[in-house]
Amino acid sequence: MGFALPTNIENRPVAVIGAGTLGRRIALMFAVRGGLVRIFDKSAPAGEAARKYVEKNVARVAASIEGGKPGRAVVTNDLAEALAEAWLVVEAVPEHLDLKKQIFGELDRIAPPDTILASNSSSYASDEFIDRVEHPERVLNVHFYMPPAQNAVDLMSDGRTDPGIMELLKRELPRYGVFPFEAQKKSTGFIFNRIWAAIKREALEEVAEGVSTPQDIDEMWKINTGIPTGPFQMMDQVGLDVVLDIENHYAAENPNLPTGPRELLKKYVDAGHLGVKTGQGFYTHTHRG
């Protein structure tokens, strides 16, 4: 049986599963056309921080998008409430495969039958966590980077995704100020993230070897590329625990990768220095994003 694409999208909410660094930014982007975004998180403080983040930034971001209009975000710890009538769900939980398998089983069971189920996973292909999904034709990767500053999005099928979903998202996502590019075959790291993975891994390896420091590498990066944020600043924004999870996944697929980057990251993570979200990472941060 084919998947029935969602209709009446403009009057239906988007649900974001996870209120972390990227979850709140994804929620922000889907709140720029005057609609409702529901953020699901079991942590009340994390959920409230995400809601406040959207509230603080939505007018500014909506003003930068053609046809933009500030919408609103609400928070719930009830998954059924979060999913009710949603045309799209974006999962943005930590990079743990068993957790993703559990969540997608629940999403497939609870969400309306025409809801698109998307994962923001930065390293796992969606075909790896659909064991408990009865309708894989509505599942895919929709991977965001760091909106609203970095607004490219990877789309990748789980191997059985309804082709109509790809076309719908290519048409609809730019209306929210994010721009999709489809990976034409399964690719760990999708498109741009494979390039970024090589850059950050080599930068980490240089620090692990004692060749340079995070600060000097970032300064050289900014001078030579003209990009205002260096690799270590970017990793602090994402969260060093997330970066380590991703590196562990790459290493599981390719045991020949150098161990220095993971060992360096682990020292920071074990010390609780996760980056912007804890106030300390490779840099000290006076505010949290």
Q: Closest Cα partner for 239 from 190, 282, 191?
A: 282
Classify residue 214 by its DSSP letter. H
Average pLDDT over residues 93-113: 96
pLDDT score of 240 more than 80: yes
Handedness of CA 161, 167, 168, 170 (dihedral sign): positive
pLDDT at 286: 85
Instruction: Determine what percent of the chain is predicted with pLDDT higher than 70.
Output: 98
Q: How far separated are the first and last CA of the chain, in Å rounded?
A: 43
Q: What per-residue confidence (pLDDT) applies to 2? A: 67
The per-residue pLDDT of the chain, averaged, comes to: 95
Tell me the average pLDDT across 198-211: 97
> Which residues make beta-bridge pairs with 280?
275, 284
pLDDT in tens, 34-76: 999 999 999 999 999 999 999 999 999 999 999 999 999 999 9
Handedness of CA 132, 136, 148, 283 (dihedral sign): positive
Whether pLDDT at 79 is above 60:
yes
DSSP assignment of 228-278: SS-HHHHHHHH-HHHHHHHHHHHHHH-TTS-SHHHHHHHHHHHTT--BGGG
Residue 287: which pLDDT band, with cuts at 50, 70 and 90?
low
> pTM of the entire structure?
0.84
Order of strands, edge to edge, in the sheet holding 116-119?
72-76, 36-40, 14-17, 88-91, 116-119, 139-146, 150-157, 179-182
Q: In order of start, what are the domains of the chain with their CATH numbers? A: 9-182 (3.40.50.720), 193-278 (1.10.1040.10)
Whether residue 1 is predicted with pLDDT greater than 90 in this model: the reply is: no
Say what percent of the chain tops pLDDT 90. 91
Segment 161-184 shows an average pLDDT of 97
Mean per-residue pLDDT for 107-114? 98
